[in-house]
Amino acid sequence: MSGQLPAGHPEVKRQKIGVLLLNLGTPDGTDYWSVRRYLKEFLSDPRVIETNKLLWWPILNLVILSFRPQKSGENYARIWDKERNESPLRVITRQQTEALQARLGPDILVDFGMRYGNPSTRSRLEAMQEAGCQKILLVPLYPQYSATTTATANDKAFEALRDLRWQPAVRTMPAYFEEQVYVETLARSIKEGVESLDFEPDVVLTSYHGMPKKYLMNGDPYHCQCYKTTRLVAEHLGWPREKLMVTFQSRFGPTEWLQPYTDETLKALPGRGMKKVAILAPAFSADCIETLEEIAITGEEEFMHAGGERYAYIPCLNASEPGMDMIETIVRKELSGWI
């Protein structure tokens, strides 16, 4: 082929298939300005904040970004990987990428990009095309679909593709909350997590990231998919429905969010006689500030202060062997016809 090219023709790369893992994002450091840049990008996303821009801009730039970065930076510092000088989310997403690359082999290029922060989705898509990827599977690492997660991750990828002269063929992986392999893997993680404890929990909380209630009323399926995830897992485990409880965390601002709220539930449980709790966050594929700081640390503080006796956080699937078996299975399914 190269012998037939005209003089001066750019090198023709051997065509490859790309798999790009997409996650939410992370600041580059715990200092004020690193966290501020991250929060500004995150909270400027109209998929995340659906408030009128003219109303939201002064609130964000004159109020929130003046005070919140310092507090968020302190929270990040509590869970920061100081050896690598990175957030756990970036460390774990890289581990997932490397593990999936080893499983899929050299003919498929696996990489990861962040919706907010670094490495940017745009930079990784450009690198993939430069490496010869003319077929790319986008893999939003969100088991349940939401416009605030899956959709905005894909938006960012499409925005980058819009500027490419030679666009690759692209597929997007759908939400996988009801895939049998995911339900089985999550159930196994919960079962093994509970069995490893030196106490029997009175209740196990599945805490999902929250969203304003109006997003549900506007048609976002996330709320229903969260409840179905927990129901499918409970059925697989053979547990009574009251053993596995659904709550929603990380609410922000004065508007009503999806309920019941995780923090208020943790404070109320001891008064209802449930003083031994295990908790996990099924909406996250990798541990991050919302799980390691908000749930594992602050959640325990709130629960114990309210009269709780025992508290345990069950980690996300992360780059564990069962977790990677699950991701590989779903990715190979979505690559059907390409490999």
Q: Which segments are annotated as binding site for Fe(2+)?
A: 209, 290
R_g of the chain, CA atoms, integer Å: 21
Pairing between strand 310-313 and 244-249? unpaired
Is the separation of the CB atoms in 18 and 135 below 8 Å?
A: yes
31 Cβ partners below 8 Å, 6+ apart?
A: 73
184 Cβ partners below 8 Å, 6+ apart?
A: 236
Is the separation of the CB atoms in 188 and 323 below 8 Å?
A: no
Annotated binding site: 209, 290
Helical residues (DSSP H) of 169-242, grouped into ranges: 180-195, 213-217, 222-237
SS3 21: strand
Rounded distance, CA 148 to CA 140, Å? 12
Rounded distance, CA 313 to CA 308, Å? 14
